[in-house]
Amino acid sequence: THPEGWGKLHQAIGNAHYLRGCRDANPNPYWRKAFGYYNKSLETLTPEDFPEAHLEVLQELIRTLLALEAIYQAQEFQRRGTDVLHNLLKNTKSPAKKKQLALKFVAFQQLTVDLAVQSGDAIQGIELAEAGKNACLSWLLASRDNEMFSPTWEEMQQLLNPTTAIVYWHISPAALHTFILKDDNPLPIVLGQTKLTEKTQFLPQIQRLRDFEAWVKDWNQDYSQYRQKKDKSVENNWRDNLPKMLQRLAKILDIPAIIKFIQTSESQPIQHLILIPHRDLHRFPLHALFNREEKGQNFTISYLPSAQFISSSVKYLHSGDKKAEGRRQRAEGKEERKEEDPKIQRNYNCLSELDISLKPPTDEQDEPSPQQLLSVEVAESDNLPPLSFVAFEAEVITQLFENPQRIQEKDATTKRVEDALENKHRIFHFAGHGNYNFAEPLNSELALAKDDKLTLREIYQKDLATYQLVSLSACETAITGNQTITTEYVGLVSGFLSKGVRQVVSTLWTVKSAATALVMIEFYHRWQAGKSEVQALVEATQWLKNLTVAQLKQWYQNFRNQLPREEGKIRPFVKNELYNLATMEPNNKPYEHPYYWAAFIITGKLNL
């Protein structure tokens, strides 16, 4: 008499058995029971009467079958679900509702990546992963409904050279996969075996996901408590636990195995890594897991939201593009690749029938403004803690450039900053607070004067193709609560990149203002001296990490000696810092802890 309730009851029982299996050393009996109850629920949760509920059960069925390694059955349910989802989106007229449905069932697309990998097709797996990423980014950034081409495996390879490799992660409800892309490998390398080992009843990618989800839960709890406490010096807090947490994450992601695959090349050693995280992995300092000075491992590392954010040498092809046929012909001329499994349908097409409209940076840009640098400096915003080093940081950095445009404190209104951004500068340096909005990513914001703000939604309306660099100093891009990203991370960084900015320097959490100022000043010094943006940031953060009190005192003294005697803004500040340093142990390294240096990342085109 109540078909929906009857179906959901059996679905809930199936979920209970699945989760019980995830906690048991011998999970298969529980997973088989879950499969039976999910099948029962489909008897009443039919695609005709309850299409959304039907799709939810299919997602859970596929997840269970993947764990049981029942690939052919999983492919059959995936095929059925693709048809249901396609019809559901096709018959939904409201753009808002269509976006809601696409994001609600993004996990369905994520499972197709697992199907491809477990079927032995790594190329199809990474192409599906990339297409799913771009579909989510498109919905979350633009919410537009047009056909989109996502880069092929061959196009992704154009990011590579003999000294550059890509580490590409993908998370689904069933697994955490790691792809390694190298110039001398015709196929993506998939980390870990895809078969059960004698040591565990779980596939490695499933165990990795379980361990990662537990780790994220601990991180969220510690980080949330840390931010809420006014006294940050309390022992055993998130900051104190950070080194151990990063060691634990490196073990979960099996970073040593990744490095081993990266460095097996018989040609030139890999020097540069491009990290492409997925979902929650965007929130964490993955670069800090790779560089171990004691082992001689020093990579230059940058990030990308997806391979779609590619260098100007690769052009992405959209519907109606005359080059589309040429791309297909080039692909056919590559080394022979395994035929796609027709049983694994590319259901991202029905999730992403839209155009992300990313504006890749080009070498032929509009003529930039004579004022190369736009500096916006907001030490105090309503309801946010003051940033005491902002004035010092901005004063020093702006002196490195001719004729900078500066907008300071109360003058930093939304309208004035928006107008200034449209003046086609080359660099935008923002020294102030930033915030990531989990519920509505387009409302992520830069905090301006008083309660004014510049949101990602407003940024996305602008053409920023002349900007080579955006620096978001002191902005927090990490999630501050206990939320988990199930679709994809979209924040201020991806917003700037999608509008044509080449590189974005940002911080994953709010670092002590003094450390931020030192890193930013050293970064710009090195960049102005001819280093690439990536190399300049690596050197600046390593410099901070190894800096002693004696060296910092000398740094301030040298800096003071270069100032004009009549200078009245920076001199008092430097004098005060030297006074504070005089009471500290000379050989102490005040910024050695990863809290100070690991938060800084650079995302975008790799300029080496």
* Range with lowest mean pLDDT among 32-41, 80-89, 191-200, 230-239: 191-200
pLDDT at residue 477 in the model: 61
Average pLDDT over residues 534-544: 94
Query: Nearest CA to 262 among 335, 164, 360, 133?
Result: 164
Residues 301 and 377 in one domain: no
Average pLDDT over residues 124-137: 89
Confidence of residue 228 (pLDDT cuts 50, 70, 90): confident
State how far the Cα of 453 lies from the Cα of 443, in Å rounded to an integer. Answer: 10
Query: Nearest CA to 310 among 157, 169, 179, 427?
Result: 157
pLDDT-above-90 percentage for the chain: 44
Query: pLDDT: is 383 or 149 the higher one?
Result: 383
Residues 84 and 164 in one domain: no
Q: What is the DSSP letter of 297?
A: B
Is the pLDDT at 33 greater than 90, yes or no? yes
Average pLDDT over residues 526-545: 93
Residues 85 and 219 in one domain: no
DSSP 53-92: HHHHHHHHHHHHHHHTT-HHHHHHHHHHHHHHHHHHHHT-
State how far the Cα of 378 lies from the Cα of 491, in Å rounded to an integer. Answer: 20
Query: Nearest CA to 137 among 456, 420, 370, 379?
Result: 456
CATH of the domain at 208: 3.30.420
pTM: 0.86
Confidence of residue 55 (pLDDT cuts 50, 70, 90): very high
Give the pLDDT confidence of 235-277 residue by residue, as tens digits: 668 999 999 999 999 999 999 999 989 887 566 788 899 999 9
Give the pLDDT confidence of 101-130 residue by residue, as tens digits: 888 888 888 999 999 999 899 999 999 999
Residues 406 and 535 in one domain: yes
In the listed set 253, 286, 306, which residue is the last one of a domain according to the structure?
306
CATH of the domain at 11: 1.25.40
pLDDT at residue 143 in the model: 54
How many domains is the chain partitioned into structurally?
Answer: 3
**Measured between alpha carbons, how far is residue 573 from residues 391, 393, 556, 563 in Å?**
9, 11, 10, 12
Q: Are 355 and 146 in contact (CB under 8 A)?
A: yes
Is the pLDDT at 344 greater than 60, yes or no? no
pLDDT at residue 347 in the model: 47
- Residue type, position 444, single letter: S
pLDDT at residue 364 in the model: 42
What are the structure tokens assigned to 282, written together? 């965007």
Confidence of residue 403 (pLDDT cuts 50, 70, 90): confident
Q: Is residue 340 part of a domain?
A: no
Q: Is residue 469 part of a domain?
A: yes
State how far the Cα of 97 lies from the Cα of 94, in Å rounded to an integer. Answer: 5
State how far the Cα of 244 lies from the Cα of 249, in Å rounded to an integer. Answer: 9
Q: Is residue 358 part of a domain?
A: no
Q: What is the DSSP letter of 459?
A: H
Residues 445 and 594 in one domain: yes
- Reading phi first (left if > 0) and then psi (alpha if -120 to 50, else beta), residue 279 is in left
pLDDT at residue 361 in the model: 40
Q: Is residue 179 part of a domain?
A: yes
In the listed set 55, 75, 91, which residue is the last one of a domain according to the structure?
91
Q: Are 135 and 293 in contact (CB under 8 A)?
A: no
Q: Give the mean pLDDT of the chain.
A: 82
Residues 80 and 175 in one domain: no
pLDDT at residue 325 in the model: 39
Token pair 């892309």 is found at 181
In the listed set 91, 126, 150, which residue is the last one of a domain according to the structure?
91
Residues 64 and 209 in one domain: no
Which residues constitute the domain of residue 54? Answer: 3-91
Residues 294 and 384 in one domain: no
CATH of the domain at 445: 3.40.50.1460
H helical segments located in 422-548 = 456-459, 492-498, 513-528, 533-546
Is the pLDDT at 190 greater than 90, yes or no? yes
Average pLDDT over residues 126-140: 86
Q: Are 354 and 385 in contact (CB under 8 A)?
A: no
Q: Is residue 360 part of a domain?
A: no
How many Cα atoms sit within 13 Å of 595 on the Cβ side?
Answer: 18
